Structure formats: C-alpha cells, structure tokens
Chains A and B, each alone.
Chain A
Amino acid sequence: MVKDQEFLEKKASYCLSLAKKLGATGSSVIVNNSVSETVNFRNKKLDESNRSDDLGINITTYIGKKKSSISSSNLLDDNLNILIEKCVETTKNTPEDEFNSLPDKDLLAKEVKDLSLYDDTHIENDQKIDYLKKLESAASNDKKIVNTESSFTQNKSNFILANSGGFCAGYKTSSFTASSVAVAKDEKSMERDYEYSSKCFLKDLDDAGELGKQAADQTIRKLSPKKIGSEKIAIIFDKRIGKGILSTFASAISSSAISRGTSFLKDKVNQKIFSDTINVLDKPDILKGLGSRNFDSEGVKTDTLKLVDQGILKHYLIDTYNGKKLNLKSNGRCGGTSNLYFENGNISFKDLLNSKSKSLYITETIGHGSNIVTGDYSVGATGFLVENGEFKYPINEITIAGNFKDMFKNITLANDLEFKYATNSPTMMIEGMVVAGK
C-alpha cells in the first residue's frame, strides 16, 4: 500500500522544523512514495515480475539568498538528522544568488481540486496475466510475428510538498499502463514496432486484443523497407512523433533556457513564430489528464495558458528563480508543462495525406538531433512513402533535417487530436525539410 498523507506530512514537518532549528531561514520539502507492480510477458509466457516500493525525500534549505539541497531514500529520523545538518552546513558555504527564494505567497495554490487522478482499484498479478495473455495472443496471430514482449504496470503514488511559508499539500495519483513490442520478420528484413496505452483509471485502458493487434499491424507493415534518394519533400509526422516536436518547443520556451540566453526563441514573446492557424495550450485541469496537476513543483498554482495564439508566442514557462531573473512572475511551470497540446487543425487526416502528390509519413525517429540553441534539427527516421494519399512502401535508413524556426512556420495540422500522452499533437505536416538517403 502506498503511504498515507499523514505519514508523509509528519516527515515533511519534521524536516521543516529541524531545518529551522539548525539555522535555515527558509526551507521546502517534497516527500513522495510510489508503489508499482509490473508483469512482463514474452511470446505468450510469463517473463518477469517486478514490484517496487520507492520512498524519497528532497529538502532545500535557504539562508538568506544562499541555497542548497539534499535528497535521500532513507527516511529514518537519524539519517534525516545527519542529512539536514549537512544541507544547512553546505548552504552556509554556498555563495549567495540574489534570485534564490521560495515562491511568492500570493502565487501559491490556495485549494486542491479533485482532478480525478486516483483510481483505488487494485489489480492482482493474475488479472494482469489474463490481460497480457489476451494481448499477446492478438499480437502473435500473424506468422510474420517472431517475438512479442508485453507489459502491464499498476502504479500508485502519493506526495506532500511543504515549505516554511506555510504551504502544505499533496495528493494521490494512479496509472495503469499496458504496452506491447512486436518483432516481425520476412526474407529481407526484421522490424520492430509497438503500441501503448496509459490511463489514470483502469476501466479507461485500451482493450487488450485491440492493443496487441495494433502493435502487430504496425510492425508487419514496416517489413522490406527501401531507402530513398536525398530530396526536399513534405514530411507528415505521426501523432507519436509530432508530440516530440511540441516537447522541443516547450524546452525552448522554458524560463531557464530564456534567462540563460540559450534558446532560439529568446525575446520572441508577442512575435509570430508559427503559421497563423496554430494554437498551443497547456491545460492543467483536464479530469483524468496524464499531465494534470493542481500546482507546480514549488506549490505555485497552475492556470491554463494559451502559449501560442494564432501563431504568436504569448508566454514562457516560468518558475520562481528564473522569473525573478527575467522580472516576470512564475506561472506555475516549475518542472515543465502539464497537458500540452496543439489545437486541432482544419482538415481531416485523409485530406492531409492527399494534400501533396508525394510525401513521407514518419512513424519513428532516432537520435538526439534537436538543438534548442540554434534550432537545428537532424534525426534518423523510418516511415512510409505516401503517393496520392496512399501508403506505397516502408522506408528506412534516412535522416530528416531542418531548422525549427522554419519548420514551425510551415506546419499544417489535421483535426485528429487525442489525449493519449501528457503532450499531444494532431497529425502534422511540415513542408520544406530535407531528407538524406541514397
């Protein structure tokens, strides 16, 4: 069982009062507990079970404008005594930084809304096994599938965030996650692909058979890929790749990258960075949302932000420290975005595929090819050649490259947004990128 609020609060207040006693002028503490149970299957048989029970504490102490932090998984009082003493000692010896401070009191979350993030249902390993049997039997139906690996995880977490300014709040969250990875083989090639579903509530999880079939279909269609020549061509990003481009955008508008001057979007607030039709929202209060939250990791309340309005950048993602440095108020984004998404575009997925006589549909990228300082983008990719709206054949061993500054202005979105992850994009087309192949 995941630890209750009372236990976590007791630990938190112990730390705050000890830090004060030892000379800290301010402090904040996060105590969390996460219990997860996973069962893995491989080729329709039990392969692995994994139970984890993680308890952790993170304490930051301030002495005036000096700051230091410690973290530990050992919450016994005598260990905490040693660590907090060390933390306060280190704080004393750390140079001042004028922007160090706890969040402003008037920005802290006043209430904790019930966002339906916790499902009390406990699913026994035998039930997980039943789900995985059904999933793997659907995934391995086709003879071309030579290996399947699937997994089911139940996670229950609880946390308390408290600071010496009187803030003390936390809540339980849960997640149920199923995934399946398939390997298919023919005379010429071997390919891998996957499908995945994660929900706060067990009853919302995708059907096992559907998920398995999806994983298998997506793998089989990649067999016998070809390599194409180097050219400039319209790229269509599958939703699971499009969300990565949105995440890169989020890193580039984080107040830390902005205040350090290491982002290609520095000083771009109120300027047009996307095409007219593009809107980006970060909405923390979606019921059962995978990124939903009441407040950020400093306790600052999080409201919905329209980050991009008709192509114009409206906000950075601001925390207390970098906010003070930029002379801006925190907007509750310490720790990043919540439920971040592109609003739907105007055309259907089918019309998007049809909009060019020839395009590339990308289902996977590999490599760490996003540079937020320069905006340069270059990654390895696999996908399909699309001609007149039809998937012609699979493609691999190519790279796609461009610069985000240009790519953002050439985005066309379909109207097929769904909330499958915390960050979501409809299917996205970007024109003007370069493919390198043969």
Chain B
Amino acid sequence: MYMSDFFEKSDLSRSDAESIISDTLQKCDDGELYLENSKSESILLDDNKIKNSSYSSDLGFGFRAISDEVVAYSHSNEISKNSLRQSSENLKSTLKSVKGTYNHEIPKSNKKYYENINPIEQKSLNEKIKILNEVNNYLRSKDDNIKQVTANFLGEQKSVEIIRSGGETLTDVRPLIRFNVSVMLEKNGRKETGVYGIGGRKSYDSYLKDDNWKSVCDEALRIASVNLESKPAPAGEMKVVLGPGWPAILIHEAVGHGLEGDFNRKKTSAFHNLMGQKVASEGVTIVDDGTIDNRRGSLTIDDEGTPTEKTVLIENGILKNFMQDRLNARLMKTKSTGSGRRENYRHIVLPRMRNTMMLSGSHTQDEMIKAVDKGIFAVSFGGGQVDITSGKFVFNCTEAYEIVNGKIGSPIKGATLIGDGPSILKEVSMVGNDMMMDPGIGTCGKAGQGVPVGVAQPSILINKMTVGGTKL
C-alpha cells in the first residue's frame, strides 16, 4: 500500500483533526479537510544531454467551509494542530454567522479505474536515462536535418484523503505518467518542429516498451517533416474536416467549458439558457467520462470524494446535462456528477472536465474529404482557448492540409481556427465512424488551475469555420 499517513509525524492526531473539522463545519452547508501528498519526477533530455533530473515532494492541506453561496478556504503546508486551528479560525471569521445544515450524503462506489502504484519507483533513474539517450540516438540517426531533439518523462503519484464533518473519510492514490518528444528540423534555412507524446494513469512499462517509444519518435518526426513542406495557410471562412482523436480539443473548448456548472449557475455561459434545446446537429452525442480505465482524465473519486461517472452532456443534438461539483449542484438543485476537481491542495474545487468525447456516427473520413471543394483538413492541434461568455473559441493547428476539389493537397502552416461554441456543433454535417481517444497528454487550465484531462472524437466535417492564415 502506498497510501500516505498524514498524521504519522504530526502533533495532530486523526481524532483531533476530526473534532476541529466537525466543530468548524457543524453549521455549514458543506465542506471538508482535503489532505494531499504528491511526489513527482521529471527527467529531461535536450540538446544531446540529460539537461535536468528533478524530484519534488509536496505535502499540505486545504480546509473548506461553505455556507449558502459563500466559500471560505484556507490552506497550508504544515500539518499541525496549530496550523489547522488557525485555518479553522480563518474560515469562521469569513462565515461569521452561519445557519446551514451539513449535507452528509455522499455516494459510494467500489470501482477503481487505475492501480495503486508509484510509477516513479518502478523504473530506476539509470533505466530512464538510458531510454532517453536511445530516443535521441534513434531520431538523430533517422534524419540528417534534425537539429534538435527534446524528450522527457514526467511521473507522478498523488495520495489524497478527504475528511468530512462527522469523520467520514475517502481516499485515492493516483498515478500519472507522461512521455513527450519534440523534434526540430532545419532544411534550406527553414526550421519547423513536430511534437508528440503519450501518457495516462499507468506504469512506465505500459508506455516505454521498445516499439512503443519508437512510434512516438516517428510521429514527432513525421509532423515536423510535413511542416517543412508547408505553405502559408488561407484566411477566411471555409469547410473544415477534423481528424479523429486529439482534435477533439475543439469539443473541449467549444462546448465543454460552457457546460461546466459554475458558469451556468452564474448565468455567464453562452449555454446557460439552452438546457433541453437543440445545440448540435442530429447524430452529435457528447459525454464527459471519468470512468475509463487508466486514462489521463479518469478519476476513481473526484476531489470532493464523489465517485466519477459517465455524464451525457449532449444527446443526439439536445443539451442534457451540465458538469457539476457539490456546491454548484446544490445551488442548482441537482446532483454532483463527480466533476469537482482541483489542481492541488492550494486551490478551491471547481467543476471540471475529465475525458470529453464525441461518440461515433456513420460516415467515413473519405466521404468528408470528397464533400469539400475548398477547405482544410486539420489532423493535429497545439492548444485551444475559449471565452465562455461570448462563446468564441480558438485552437491552433500543428498539422493541417488544404483540400481542393475533394482531394487532400499541400500541407499548410500552423494557423488558428476560430468559431462560435453554441453554433459550431450545428454546423457539423457528418460524424465519422472512427472515434479515437487522444494519446493522453492534455492539461486543461481554468482560473489558474491545471488538471489532466482527455478528449476523443471521430472525424467530423464542419460546414463553416474561420481559418486564421495569412493568404487572402
């Protein structure tokens, strides 16, 4: 067992903590003590050398008290009687006179979506360094135009304990791995990069078998090579075919954020008055699923202790559900969907996405390409961003091609695509039969907090989107 004992080396006993928690929260509507111990390791190869090997251990608690709409939060690195009491005083001073009824109800589940392992300890430093050097040599021997190779491992284990008023305790141990390769090519004075990575909640061995890491290298090199031949992207509105898998960050940005409970309770999301209405073309179904084994966005329980679930957001074009944490669910008179997440103990809980997926339809990618006279085919993306109030969202292509008269043409330079969240899914005219998960590399940022997430989708054809190139 790798579960941390948070009270082992502290003058604070478990029963002391429980009585401070119950005393602080007795007249509040909700709240808990969240304890976290995380260990992470990063090893970076860059410029032909091991540039950095670092290890970090982080320990702390966050104490939260909620009364009606008001959230009081206090966190510290120091797990001690004095520190927890100080936090309790701080919460009480914010919430002065509270008269709520603590909601003890929290659903239970025995399901687990990843193993209780510490991936960092499963492979020695020397083994990891050896693989990184092999990655470097493999890539540099494949192509003379390679001028730079960067490869890194990130491994993490996070132990979480949630203690609620009355002493109810929920725990989770979360492994997380990421392996990333970036390649820069230079040819005739022109430089381009290609980036690819894989990851999830598994041990290093699941990702770093020989053929496994080689395919990551090949993919990064392939993208860089395509970009070396790219020409300026077009500017203006046109048809766009998105490839399967990672391009689903379109779904994440365009509709995902707008369907998070907090923005809808506050009525600041462009979707807040569209529940039950048609927001997408027929055949478009989108779910947010925290229950897929070993995925980067999966969680056994969320950061409030609620077991995660598969939440149907849009079913056959109709808006069905928002993603909820406990606070927003209570205020909107519904149930938590197990979407309450935080980056770490320093942050308050917010409703967040887990693995956001558009499900398969019946068309083939080939049909989509053939249906486009003039447009682009976008295969891979960098990042995206959304303004949830105006609904406008963007994402940046890192691999894209022009489509001319139903045929894929030359690669085009990275360009930003911009669209309108509430209307974009109504412009989806074909949904592919080739749904694919992303490789496990996504991090979503909201209110300064980054959390690991996943996305998935089949190929889709969008009738109209603005492509931000330079060629008029």
* Residues in A lying within 8 Å of B, measured CB to CB: 42, 45-56, 68-76, 78-79, 83, 86-87, 90, 93-95, 97, 125, 146-147, 149, 183, 189-192, 225, 229-232, 259-262, 264, 364, 366-369, 371, 373-374, 376, 378-380, 382, 396-403, 434-438
Q: Mark B154-166, 1 if CB is under 8 A from A, else 0.
A: 0000000000000
B192 to chain A, nearest CB (A): 7
Known: A76-B9, A94-B129, A369-B396. A396 touches B236 (CB 8 A): no
Known: A76-B9, A230-B235, A373-B191. A400 touches B468 (CB 8 A): yes
Q: How far is the CA of A79 from the CA of B472 in the complex (A)?
A: 61
Nearest neighbor of A37 in chain B, beta-carbon distance: B90
B34 to chain A, nearest CB (A): 13
Nearest neighbor of B466 in chain A, beta-carbon distance: A436
- Asked if B406 is at the interface of the complex by the 8 Å CB criterion, the answer is no
Q: How far is the CA of A232 from the CA of B55 in the complex (A)?
A: 49
Contact A74 B57 (CB under 8 A): yes
Contact B392 A397 (CB under 8 A): yes
Contact B77 A436 (CB under 8 A): no
A-B contact count (CB 8 A): 241
Q: How far is the CA of A400 from the CA of B469 in the complex (A)?
A: 8
Residues of the B chain whose Cβ atoms lie less than 8 Å from the Cβ of A382:
387, 390, 392
Nearest neighbor of A124 in chain B, beta-carbon distance: B93
Contact B420 A397 (CB under 8 A): yes
| B contact patch SS | strand
Contact B415 A378 (CB under 8 A): yes
Contact B148 A380 (CB under 8 A): no
Known: A51-B73, A368-B382, A373-B192. A260 touches B46 (CB 8 A): yes
Q: How far is the CA of A94 from the CA of B52 in the complex (A)?
A: 9
B116 to chain A, nearest CB (A): 22
Residues of the B chain whose Cβ atoms lie less than 8 Å from the Cβ of A86:
55
B459 to chain A, nearest CB (A): 23
B83 to chain A, nearest CB (A): 8
Contact A52 B346 (CB under 8 A): yes
A196 to chain B, nearest CB (A): 14
- Asked if B106 is at the interface of the complex by the 8 Å CB criterion, the answer is no
Stretch at the interface among B199-207, B262-270, B308-316: B262-270
Q: How far is the CA of A231 from the CA of B12 in the complex (A)?
A: 66
Nearest neighbor of A231 in chain B, beta-carbon distance: B472
Known: A50-B74, A74-B57, A74-B59. A401 touches B470 (CB 8 A): yes
Q: Max chain A CB contacts within 10 Å: which of B58, B393, B394?
A: B394
The 28 sampled A-B contact pairs (Cβ below 8 Å) are A47-B69, A48-B73, A51-B90, A52-B74, A69-B53, A70-B57, A71-B57, A74-B57, A79-B57, A83-B55, A93-B126, A146-B267, A147-B268, A192-B390, A366-B385, A366-B386, A368-B382, A371-B414, A378-B469, A378-B470, A396-B390, A396-B392, A397-B420, A403-B470, A434-B469, A434-B470, A436-B418, A437-B237
Interface residues on B, range: 35 or more
Contact A125 B94 (CB under 8 A): yes
Nearest neighbor of B385 in chain A, beta-carbon distance: A366
Residues of the B chain whose Cβ atoms lie less than 8 Å from the Cβ of A146:
267
Residues of the A chain whose Cβ atoms lie less than 8 Å from the Cβ of B90:
49, 51
Q: How far is the CA of A376 from the CA of B230 in the complex (A)?
A: 13
Contact A69 B52 (CB under 8 A): yes
Q: What 10 A-B pairs are tightest by C-beta distance, nearest first?
A: A399-B468, A436-B235, A380-B394, A367-B394, A192-B389, A49-B94, A73-B77, A230-B236, A378-B416, A51-B74
Known: A261-B148, A367-B394, A400-B468. A374 touches B419 (CB 8 A): no
Residues of the A chain whose Cβ atoms lie less than 8 Å from the Cβ of B129:
93-95
Given A68-B55, A368-B382, A369-B468, 9 extra CB contacts under 8 A: A55-B78, A71-B57, A90-B125, A93-B126, A95-B50, A366-B393, A368-B383, A378-B470, A397-B420
Residues of the A chain whose Cβ atoms lie less than 8 Å from the Cβ of B147:
261
Nearest neighbor of B50 in chain A, beta-carbon distance: A95
Partner of B60, one of A47, A48, A73, A225: A73
B67 to chain A, nearest CB (A): 10
Nearest neighbor of A50 in chain B, beta-carbon distance: B73
Q: How far is the CA of A146 from the CA of B470 in the complex (A)?
A: 38
Known: A48-B72, A97-B50. A70 touches B55 (CB 8 A): yes
Contact B53 A94 (CB under 8 A): yes
Residues of the B chain whose Cβ atoms lie less than 8 Å from the Cβ of A435:
235
Partner of B57, one of A72, A189, A371, A438: A72
Contact B50 A397 (CB under 8 A): no
B108 to chain A, nearest CB (A): 29
Nearest neighbor of B40 in chain A, beta-carbon distance: A71
Residues of the B chain whose Cβ atoms lie less than 8 Å from the Cβ of A72:
56-59
* Residues in B lying within 8 Å of A, measured CB to CB: 9, 46-47, 49-60, 69-78, 83, 87, 90-91, 93-94, 125-126, 129, 147-148, 184, 186, 190-193, 233, 235-237, 266-268, 270, 346, 348, 382-387, 389-390, 392-396, 413-420, 466-472
Nearest neighbor of B56 in chain A, beta-carbon distance: A71
Contact B237 A438 (CB under 8 A): yes
Q: How far is the CA of A395 from the CA of B201 in the complex (A)?
A: 43
Nearest neighbor of A432 in chain B, beta-carbon distance: B470
Q: How far is the CA of A53 from the CA of B78 in the complex (A)?
A: 9
Nearest neighbor of A76 in chain B, beta-carbon distance: B9
Residues of the B chain whose Cβ atoms lie less than 8 Å from the Cβ of A78:
9
Contact A401 B235 (CB under 8 A): yes
Known: A94-B53, A436-B235. A51 touches B87 (CB 8 A): yes
Q: How far is the CA of A51 from the CA of B73 in the complex (A)?
A: 6
Partner of B235, one of A90, A189, A369, A434: A434
Q: How far is the CA of A435 from the CA of B129 in the complex (A)?
A: 46
Contact A378 B396 (CB under 8 A): yes
Known: A74-B77, A189-B390. A90 touches B468 (CB 8 A): no
Partner of A68, one of B49, B53, B60: B53
Known: A45-B69, A90-B53. A399 touches B387 (CB 8 A): no
Known: A73-B60, A90-B53. A190 touches B77 (CB 8 A): no
A7 to chain B, nearest CB (A): 13
A369 to chain B, nearest CB (A): 5
Partner of A47, one of B71, B148, B393, B470: B71
Nearest neighbor of B238 in chain A, beta-carbon distance: A436
Q: How far is the CA of A401 from the CA of B193 in the complex (A)?
A: 19
Contact A191 B191 (CB under 8 A): no
Contact A367 B59 (CB under 8 A): no
Residues of the A chain whose Cβ atoms lie less than 8 Å from the Cβ of B78:
53, 55
Residues of the A chain whose Cβ atoms lie less than 8 Å from the Cβ of B413:
374, 376
Contact B472 A366 (CB under 8 A): no
Contact B73 A261 (CB under 8 A): no
Contact A398 B466 (CB under 8 A): yes
Q: How far is the CA of A46 from the CA of B98 in the complex (A)?
A: 13
Contact A191 B390 (CB under 8 A): yes
B259 to chain A, nearest CB (A): 16
Q: Max chain A CB contacts within 10 Å: which of B56, B147, B470?
A: B470
Q: How far is the CA of A56 from the CA of B78 in the complex (A)?
A: 11
